[in-house]
Amino acid sequence: MTKYEGSCDCGDVKVTAEISDPSGGIICHCGECKLRYGPYNAVFAVPEDDYKVVSGKDSLKSWSYTGASGNPVPCSFCSNCGVNMFRKEATLPGLTVVIASTLKEGWESGKLRPTQSLLTSRALPWISEVGTFKNL
């Protein structure tokens, strides 16, 4: 198990996540993720006890949307900068769905990475056509 530190963009909400498989990230192609994050979103599902908000709890706000299961999906975000931090899904009891990019060092260094896709039938049709980008 490796502990990764993270935060929202403004740094007010700080978190830690203990992740046993750094290549266990999931790319989600659902409509909700596309609306909030772009063409897809990368997440890690970690046991609730392995994800901790270490500071800035007072800055966290929550809201819910109705997931594909028909159940509400509570999402928590920083009220200062608006960054979505994590969500809880009834279909994943005992787990916290962590937005991978909030675990900045691990995510940006490539230590954490996705190796699975979820809801690929809802992926934008051009996703598989995107190749290596040129540096501009």
Over residues 95-105, the pLDDT tens digits come to 999 999 999 98
Residues 69/63, Cβ–Cβ less than 8 Å: no
Q: Is residue 131 part of a domain?
A: no
Count of domains observed in the chain: 1
State pTM to two decimals: 0.86
Q: Is residue 30 part of a domain?
A: yes
What residues make up the domain containing 30?
A: 2-120
Over residues 19-61, the pLDDT tens digits come to 999 999 998 888 888 888 888 889 999 999 999 999 999 999 9
Q: Is residue 125 part of a domain?
A: no
Give residue 50's pLDDT: 97
CB count within 10 Å of CB 94 equals 9
Give residue 38's pLDDT: 82
d(CA 9, CA 67): 26
Q: What is the CATH number of the domain that holds 19?
A: 2.170.150.70
